[in-house]
Amino acid sequence: MPQKRLFARGQVCNVRAHAGETMKLYFMGICGTAMGNAALLARAAGHDVLGADTGVYPPMSDVLAAAGITLHEGYDAARLQKLAPDLVIVGNAMSRGNEEVEWLLDTRAVPFTSLPAMLHDLVLKGRRNLVVCGTHGKTTTTALAAFLLRAAGRDPGFLIGGVPQDPPVGAHLGAAADPFVIEGDEYDSAFFDKRSKFIHYAPHVAVLNNLEFDHADIFRDLQDIKRTFTHLARIVPRNGWVVANGDDENLRALGPMAWTRVVRVGLGEANDTRIVDFKESGAGAEFSLLWRGAHWARVAWALPGIYNARNAAMAATAAGLALHPGEPTALPLAALARFRGVKRRQEVRLSNARFTVIEDFGHHPTALAETLRSFRARHPGAVLTAVFEPRSNTARQKTLQDDFTRALALADSVYLGPVNRPEKLSAEERFDPETVVRELRAKGVDAHCAESNAAVLEKLVAHTTGPHAVRPRVVAFFSNGSFDGIIGKFVAAAQG
């Protein structure tokens, strides 16, 4: 079927696609996890998809190529003009100064839009969307909801912001009659669209996992973040659901949300879904779920921490309500016993008699603290070492430095990498590893920092390997980036 122009040339637009109409879609920044998975969804929906990135490399490049998506290395305005797409999807990492961005703005020759707007109009429109939001736990909770729906014999669509082990892929179009589960990030949509991504996702069920100050580069303060979560809640329809963490003070402060139905999840007795009798040891974690006082399920699984038990309770409640309005307990939960989680979320990279090495995406002090408490419970008697890279836009700043110090003090030893892109911040604004080290040492923590991640690795290997290191040690790496490859290198050293 020939492609059709669905809108005028040269405008920021919302896509208006109808059944049977296909388009030639060009993704700028296509090899990012979210962009790549969205491109796969668009391809599965029948569109002609191509794109460009400055890092076209496996595994995403292989997955995209296998789906019949053409990839281009780097950005080239002349090439983009020749390709003549119907629509350009501009990734969140793109900014003014990129030559393709500047050509789009100069010529207005091709319409462009943000990724969340494209997802709304080409994927989510007309679906019953389950949107998972919150400062922490979004990726795991999204994967859990999709996994439970599939285990119940349904064919949900989903878009997961990480690399899940269950379900086995990060994006799937699913059946139109079944829910679509999507990770709802509060970060802005594009350089020209400063609304939070989740505003585009038209939630039928909105999961509010938790709410804390984060993304200090775009939000002024906690009140600013509360405002955008309120905007999200206000677009949940009256026949939909808000599934909220009832133990979270900041979420309770959003008010009663009288325009829709609200279900609360947590440890406290006032919650509709309650987590009770939580236990954790080296063998795993166990807990029970109650629905309005009645037993729902006993869960025994591999994932660590009360935070993951809460993720499971949120996902189960939301998925259950999406399928069985008012009766979430009709959703069976036995499949949780085999859920393997998401890569880089408390992922065990090495486990032997001397070392347990764990990689985690944690980059907020609350996430670090909860994870370290869980590791302490799972590995009693082991030396607990935290290795942290201040890399996210919030972690790079001093805004939460005291909170990071308190969280890291839960470890026996700490190694801090240098601040990522330090030249972008003044000394007064920038996270100060040396100050954090001094404060940790004053608390009795064996703390170190270095001027490069390679130097961090050198210190870590010197202090933790060799014949003098006799006690079992848990080494947890926290970074929302690659940590310059030092995690794999430490695993190799620890195996030697």
- Segment 366-396, tens digit of pLDDT: 889 989 998 998 898 899 999 999 998 889 9
User: Is 350 in contact with 335 (CB distance < 8 Å)?
Assistant: no
> How far is the CA of 93 from the CAs of 316, 352, 424, in angstroms?
33, 39, 16
Q: Return the domain boundaries, the chain.
A: 24-117, 126-338, 347-495
Average the pLDDT over 137-157 and give the result: 96
Q: Has residue 470 got a pLDDT over 90? A: no
- Fold matches, 126-338 and 347-495: no
CATH fold of 347-495 reads: Protein-Tyrosine Phosphatase; Chain A (3.90.190)
> How far is the CA of 317 from the CAs of 313, 321, 328, in angstroms?
6, 6, 6
CB burial readout 304-340, b (16+ within 10 A) else e: bbbbbbbbbbbbbbbbbbbbeeeebbebebebbeebe
- pLDDT at residue 20, as a whole number: 53
Structure tokens at 203: 């939630």
- Segment 81-109, tens digit of pLDDT: 999 999 999 999 999 999 999 999 999 99
- Segment 186-201, tens digit of pLDDT: 889 999 999 999 999 9
Q: How many CB atoms lie within 10 A of CB 106?
A: 9
- Segment 53-70, tens digit of pLDDT: 997 767 778 889 999 999
Task: Determine the CATH number of domain 126-338.
Answer: 3.40.1190.10
Amino acid identity for residue 462 in this structure? A
CA–CA separation, 444 and 267 (whole Å) = 32
- Segment 216-253, tens digit of pLDDT: 778 888 899 999 999 999 999 999 999 999 999 999 99
Structure tokens at 427: 């000394």
CA gyration radius for the chain? 23
Picking from 331, 320, 318, 327, the residue whose alpha carbon sits closest to that of residue 206 is 318
Largest CA distance in the chain: 70
- pLDDT at residue 460, as a whole number: 95
CA–CA separation, 408 and 419 (whole Å) = 16
- Segment 260-279, tens digit of pLDDT: 999 999 999 999 999 999 99
C-alpha triplet 357, 359, 360: angle, nearest 5°: 140
| Architecture field, domain 24-117 | 3-Layer(aba) Sandwich (3.40)
How sure is the predictor about 5, in pLDDT bands with cuts at 50, 70 and 90? Answer: very low
Q: Supply the angle between the helices 433-442 and 401-408 in degrees, to the nearest 10.
A: 40
